[in-house]
Structure 1
Amino acid sequence: MFVLELSYTAPLEAVDALLPDHVAWLDGLYEQGVFLASGRKEPREGGVILAVAGDRARIEEITAGDPFVRAGVCAYRVTEFVATKTAPGLERYRETLG
């Protein structure tokens, strides 16, 4: 599982101009089952996405396709972790330490 932390690198006006494209990109990845949760940081300086994918390379490919990244208005910090405990609705994402 991955935590994707977005940090805006441009003024909010530039971010907001791309928001419809970013939301459409998010929607597509929710439909694919890659994204589990997402939202803005408070204060509004970026966002956070909880994601699942086969490996880090796939996540790097996904984040590179974000319209925010392509336009240069955000940067990602990717953290991979092993989800050994989850809420009841997320059991299928539980992992064991090997």
Structure 2
Amino acid sequence: MFILSLTYVKSNEEADKHMETHMAWVGQGYARGWFLASGRKVPRTGGVILALGERAEIEAYVAADPFTVHGIAEYEITEIVLTKVVEGLEALKG
């Protein structure tokens, strides 16, 4: 499992200009079965995506995010191996 933590390096106003295409990209990540959950950080300094898949595929997909392409945000990709989850979330353990 991966935690994709993105941090804005440009203003929220700049992020808003690319939000529609970024959200379409996020939607495609869900459609591919890679993304499990996503949302904004509070305060609004970026966002977080929980993802499953192969690291190389995830890294390539992150490189195609409009936020990456337009220099809006930078990603930190952290791989974790879950050893315990609550009932109903066993799929997160991969």
Aligned counterparts of 1:36 and 1:87: Cα–Cα separation in 2:
15
User: What runs of 5+ residues in structure 1 fail to find an aligned partner?
Assistant: none
Partner of 1:74: 73
**1:38-80 per-position Cα deviation (integer Å, ceiling 9, x unaligned):** 00000000000000012x2221101101010000110000100
Partner of 1:87: 86
Partner of 2:47: 47
Q: Runs ≥4 in structure 1, deviation > 3 angstroms?
A: none
Query: What is the percentage of aligned positions where both structures have the same residue?
Result: 48
How far the C-alpha of 1:90 sits from its partner, in A, is 2.3
TM-score normalised over the length of structure 1: 0.90
TM-score normalised over the length of structure 2: 0.93
Q: Alignment RMSD, CA only? A: 1.1
**1:24-44 per-position Cα deviation (integer Å, ceiling 9, x unaligned):** 000111011100000000000
Partner of 1:30: 30
